[in-house]
Amino acid sequence: MTQRLRQNVKAQIDAAISVGAQPKAPRNGLGLVLPSGARFRTIYDKKGLTAAGEYYYEKSGIPPPGKFDFQQDPFRKPGTRSLYIKLLDGTQKKVSTWDNVNREWKLTKLGKTFFAKAVDRYTVLWPVKIQLTRINGSIFEREDWLPSTAIEALGEIEVPKNLTETEQRHRVAQIERTWREQQPVAPDGNRILISGYETHLTDVSDNRRVQYNKLSVR
């Protein structure tokens, strides 16, 4: 049962889910946080799921994480032939060791679980027009590309590795479309992806297509 949570916090989490925001490790590497508007909401800390975390996983339908973050990259400790991961409580555990005789990685029990639930990462690349307002009020416009890594709520989009690449790309496209359709509409009908001094907009007249680029494979 979800712990008591303020209605405004629930609304922020609902909004994050609707635009495809995904949990990520905070700067200190401990737990998980969810981008929520201009701030980050802690959903998993040293004690486990927070009230916000329970609500997020209940509403999103995504299974909550186990003892460790399946989204991290294994690392090698200096002077060893083993790969380690960091658990959500900050400790490190071995997931595989290099077998120099058979020339292959030998997975530990934890490693088998970890790699079975691994993810692939994608970035979205939008063809955009960038508008800058000159001092005299006139608009300078140029074409460019905007990566999803420039959008804090999206960044690198992670999808289950056990999906086919076609299914993965379809999932990424759904997340991208959901987020894009939440963005404000300019007078010319295009979506404003980034507003400010350099405003980035989609361009319905542009023949270039949105690209979905796979970054890494585990």
Secondary structure of the chain in HEC code, one letter for each residue = CCCCCCHHHHHHHHHHHHCCCCCECCCCCCCEEEEECCEEEEEEECCEECHHHHHHHHHHCCCCCCCECCCCCCEECCCCCEEEEEECCCCEEEEEEEECCCCEEEECHHHHHHHHCCEEEEEEEEEEEEEEECCCCCEEEEEEEEEHHHCCCCCCEEEECCCCHHHHHHHHHHHHHHHHCCCCECCCCCEEEECCCEEEEECCCCCCCCEEEEEECC
Does 160 share its domain with 211? Answer: yes
One domain, residues 110 and 126:
no
User: Does 183 map to a domain?
Assistant: yes
> Residue 65 domain-assigned?
no
Answer yes or no: is 197 within a domain: yes
Same domain, 91 and 109: yes
- What pLDDT score was predicted for residue 217? 45
Q: State the Cα–Cα distance between residues 91 and 191, nearest whole angstrom.
A: 44
In a domain, 127, yes or no: yes
Identify whether 200 is part of a domain. Answer: yes
82 and 55 in a common domain: no
Number of structural domains found in the chain: 3
Q: What is the mean pLDDT of residues 168-180?
A: 92
97 and 167, same structural domain? no
Q: Same domain for 27 and 49?
A: yes
Q: Is residue 79 part of a domain?
A: yes
Domain co-membership, 45 together with 127: no
User: With 60 as the cut, is the pLDDT of residue 22 above it?
Assistant: yes
Residue 83 binned pLDDT confidence (cut-offs 50, 70, 90): very high
Assess if residue 98 is contained within a domain. Answer: yes
**Taking all residues of the chain, what is their mean pLDDT, rounded to a whole number?**
84
Q: Which of 19-23, 123-127, 166-170, 177-181 has the lowest mean pLDDT?
A: 19-23
Q: Domain limits at 56?
A: 7-60
Identify whether residues 131 and 210 lie together within a single domain: yes
Residue 124 within any structural domain of the chain? yes
Please indicate, yes or no, whether residues 173 and 135 belong to a single structural domain of this protein: yes
The answer on 169 and 127 residing in a single domain is: yes
Percentage of the chain exceeding pLDDT 90: 25
Question: Region 29-43: what's the mean pLDDT?
Answer: 80
pTM confidence score: 0.52
pLDDT tens figures, 191-208? 999 988 889 999 877 778
